[in-house]
Amino acid sequence: MRLLKYYVASTVDGFIGHEDGSVNGFVEQGEHVTDYLESLKTQFDVALMGRKTYEFGFQFGVTNPYPWMRQYVFSRTMNESPDPNVTLVSENVVGLVRELKDESGKDIYLCGGAELATMLFDEKLIDEVVLKLNPVLFGSGISLLSGSEAPIDLELTGSKVYENGVLLLHYKVKY
């Protein structure tokens, strides 16, 4: 069974973006970016995204953000995918994720967003959290989670401190 990993950038105060969805303030350059891109290419062959996370790339003209992976976008409002390489899912989210986890292959990359992550945590489907903790405070914004039903216990399994102040934290989810 493959692992589902919530691999996400966050501020020290737990936000993955500003209220408007922008990420101004995150550290955009450094060794952590190279490590992140390398891990995406070597560890994962499926990417899961909520609609808002997927649409973030539209401002840069990106409709196929991870062309080397199978990509699924979960949305109740999009009618069709703007890219033939991205599968739009509007029903049976949990069932599909269970099927993907049961397949053989590399791990599954959950790149956001908060609502999708919360649903998958509540169903006990997320196995690990990989947090790119940026040395910045937003004060408000889009939270890592969107109202989880219960506390989620994590066990630190690894960490790396980058010279630019970014921390990479690996956690196993303890259900």
Average pLDDT for 56-66:
95
**Higher per-residue pLDDT: 120 or 112:** 120
The pLDDT tens digits of the residues spanning 120-162 come to 999 999 999 999 999 999 999 999 999 877 899 999 999 999 9
What is the architecture, at CATH level 2, of domain 4-174? 3-Layer(aba) Sandwich (3.40)
- How far apart are the C-alpha atoms of 88 and 101, rounded to whole Å? 18
Give this prediction's pTM: 0.95
What is the distance between the alpha carbons of residues 94 and 98, in angstroms, rounded to a whole number?
A: 6
What tokens does 44 get? Answer: 């994962």
Q: What is the pLDDT of residue 112?
A: 87
Domain residue ranges in the chain: 4-174
Extract the tokens encoding 139.
């004060």
* Cα–Cα–Cα angle for 137, 141, 146, rounded to 5 degrees: 120
**Residue that has been written with the tokens 């599909």 in this structure:** 96
Q: Can you say whether the dihedral through the CA atoms of 170, 60, 20, 110 is positive or negative?
A: negative
- Mean pLDDT, range 93-112, rounded to an integer: 97
pLDDT at 31 over 80: yes
**Is the pLDDT assigned to residue 13 strictly greater than 80?**
yes
